[in-house]
Amino acid sequence: MSTDTIHRTNAERAEQIVTRARDGADNWARQTPADRRAMLMKLVELVDAHAEEWVRRACRIKGLDPSSPLAGEEWTSGPWATMYYARALAETLERMEQGRGPTHGFDIRPVTGDRVAVEVLPHSIWDRLLLSGLSAEVWCEPGVSEQQVRDTAGLGARNPQESGGTCVVLGAGNILSIAPLDALYALYADNRSVAVKLNPVTDPLLPVLQAVFAPFVEIGAVQFFSSDLDLGSRVIEHEGIDAVHLTGAETTHDAIVWGSGEEGERNRAAGTPKLTKPVTSELGGISPIIVVPGQWSQADLQFQAEHVATMRLHNAGCNCIAGQVLVLSADWAQKEEFLDLVRQALVSAPDRPGWYPGLADRVAAARESYATSEAVGGSPERTLITGLPGDGDSQAYSSEYFGPVLAVTEVPGTGEDFLRTAVDFANERLHGTLGANVLIHPDQIGELGHDRFERLLAELRYGTIAVNAWTGVGFLLPLVTWGAFPGHTLEDVQSGRGVVHNGLLLAHAERTVVRGPWRPFPRSIAAGEMSLTPVPPWFVHNRTAATTGRRLVRFVAEPGLTKLPGVFASALRG
């Protein structure tokens, strides 16, 4: 087929996609709140029906054995995350239908810096049982009162008949719930129909997504397509498309907004974007793992070393929220012991293919850049880079490796002095603001004081902060926000602009704060912490993650007490 023929075909196809999107926007605006809620619950049912096929296709994409514990990553970050969000969003709509408001029943407390925080987890009895030990809050922008939060929550769902037009969602290629979740947010938060362009890596999932979104596809409110760059560009730039949302690389965003090559440079210099319609985005970044020095037991050192390994190795390190820079105290007496255990945890994690395109090249480039890089073993080959400056710059602070490469730096101090220095390092040296992880013994929090510790957290300019948890857990939780810290511009977009997920449809969110238990079960119970999980199901060392993930999907499909023993039994064997 000639180039001219391809371009004519793409032009015709782009017109078809946009026409269907425009019709779909009108049809979506005609759906009543009750209809929209029913469509969400139908989606939950359809995801449950197609979950096995979803995971089989995901495992083929990533070269995983569907019976392997690693398949648990696909169960939890695919069907489970999608169903969990859809059900939570349906509950928000139900409260609005009843005139109670999205935040009815949720506590809102004052936090540092003239902020308020919406306490979103735990909320139900199921949260307390299945996610025991985890809590989450959405911190709102400074100066926004509790009443303002409650009065403005709902976004597009407050006036569903007012169409927001059309949106193109550019889906990511790494986590297979990203495109579905982004599509749902555009539908319900923005009142827009959605044309989802899949990443070529995820094209095999196309028939499953069309099946689970059938109620939306039937009325044109959602459509999925795969494409080459020419077709994708034609759809995005078409005057019939009102907005664009993308998850991907900063370079992709800049090429779309400003243009490529010399054209992009000219447009950026002139301050005239090539694409003038609204663009929101989630673009990754360099995520720190800040380890606050303290007196840790041997069991604490081992558990948190595996925690660090999970932050880097989940999905073979191909996550926009993967921990990339481990920040240790130069003055911590247990520093070397902990680092040795991190090495062991990296090596002992299950082998898997380096499935994402370009992974081997990125790892090789990282190794070649540092004389202190170590090939620690495992497959794909895992790399540790030590000795990076805490008071200077490094490639590892600006280049997202998107693979199993963990960098280590040290800054001086202990206690509050260390934490302040580490916060400054993360804010000033690392590119991006998507997520930051803080590992800190409860005794250290007690010594600092809860209020002082929260003030230090508030100084971390990240969209999600996880304390004794991984920020990736924030991605899975439906009622928190997901996105960069606010304030990035199109000229310096870093981790992106805007948020998604946000199941309460909050209008003034600034960031999410997730907290986890310091110790797993049973040590947690002996220490007075509420955690019933020996090894969290997202840990790469969990031996029953696939079974637990499958059972969590079945639970979300039809919650009930009779399903809990099976979930707990699998989790306890993990």
Q: How far apart are CA 420 and CA 411, in angstroms?
A: 10
Q: How far apart are CA 195 and CA 211, in angstroms?
A: 15
CA atoms within 13 A on the CB side of 243: 22
* pLDDT tens digits along 348-360: 999 999 999 999 9
Helix (H/G/I), strand (E/B), else coil: 464: strand
Note whether 512 and 485 are within 8 A (CB).
Answer: no
Q: What does the block give as tokens for 339?
A: 């680092």
* pLDDT tens digits along 468-513: 999 999 999 999 999 999 999 999 999 999 999 999 999 999 999 9
Q: Can you give the pLDDT at residue 392?
A: 86
Report the run of H or E that residue 3 belongs to, with start and end: helix 3-29
* pLDDT tens digits along 403-461: 999 999 999 999 999 999 999 999 999 999 999 999 999 999 999 999 999 999 999 99
Residue bearing the bigger pLDDT, 188 or 564: 188
Q: What percent of the chain is predicted at pLDDT more than 70?
A: 99
Q: How far apart are CA 398 and CA 446, in angstroms?
A: 34
Smallest CA-to-CA distance from 179 within 162, 161, 202 is with 202
pLDDT (mean) for 135-141:
98
Q: How far apart are CA 55 and CA 61, in angstroms?
A: 10
Q: How far apart are CA 218 and CA 214, in angstroms?
A: 6
Helices (H), 213-258: 214-218, 229-237, 250-258
Smallest CA-to-CA distance from 466 within 434, 496, 419 is with 434
pTM: 0.96
pLDDT at 128 over 90: no
pLDDT at 141 over 90: yes
Sequence-distant (6+) residues with CB within 8 A of 406 are 308, 312, 323, 324, 326, 342, 346, 382, 383, 384, 385
Q: What percent of the chain is predicted at pLDDT more than 90?
A: 88
Phi and psi angles of residue 527, each rounded to the nearest 5 degrees, phi first: -95, 0
Fold of 287-472: Aldehyde Dehydrogenase; Chain A, domain 2 (3.40.309)
DSSP string of 262-317, one letter each residue: HHHHHHHHHT--S--S-EEEE----EEEEE------HHHHHHHHHHHHHHHHGGGG
Strand ranges, E, within 359-478: 373-377, 382-388, 405-411, 435-439, 464-467
Q: How far apart are CA 92 and CA 200, in angstroms?
A: 34
Q: Can you give the pLDDT at residue 2?
A: 56
* pLDDT tens digits along 61-113: 999 999 999 999 999 999 999 999 999 999 999 999 999 999 999 999 999 99
Strand ranges, E, within 54-183: 108-111, 115-121, 135-140, 165-170
Q: Can you give the pLDDT at residue 536?
A: 87
Q: In what order do the strands lie in the sheet with 243-247?
A: 222-225, 192-197, 165-170, 243-247, 279-282
* pLDDT tens digits along 548-568: 999 999 999 999 988 888 887
* pLDDT tens digits along 288-345: 999 999 999 999 999 999 999 999 999 999 999 999 999 999 999 999 999 999 999 9
pLDDT at 160 over 70: yes
Sequence-distant (6+) residues with CB within 8 A of 140 are 115, 116, 117, 118, 149, 506, 508, 509, 510
Which of the four pLDDT bands, split at 50, 70 and 90, describes residue 529? confident
Q: Can you give the pLDDT at residue 138?
A: 98
Residue ranges covered by each domain of the chain: 287-472
Write down the mean pLDDT value for the chain.
Answer: 95
Strands 287-291 and 323-329: parallel
* pLDDT tens digits along 226-284: 877 889 999 999 999 999 999 999 999 999 999 999 998 999 999 999 999 999 999 99
Q: How far apart are CA 436 and CA 291, in angstroms?
A: 11
pLDDT at 4 over 70: no
Q: How far apart are CA 105 and CA 95, in angstroms?
A: 10
Q: How far apart are CA 39 and CA 312, in angstroms?
A: 36
Strands 115-121 and 135-140: antiparallel
Q: Can you give the pLDDT at residue 228?
A: 79
Q: Can you give the pLDDT at residue 36?
A: 98
Q: What does the block give as tokens for 2?
A: 């000639």
Helices (H), 63-112: 71-75, 81-97
* pLDDT tens digits along 242-258: 999 999 999 999 999 99
Q: How far apart are CA 536 and CA 571, in angstroms?
A: 8
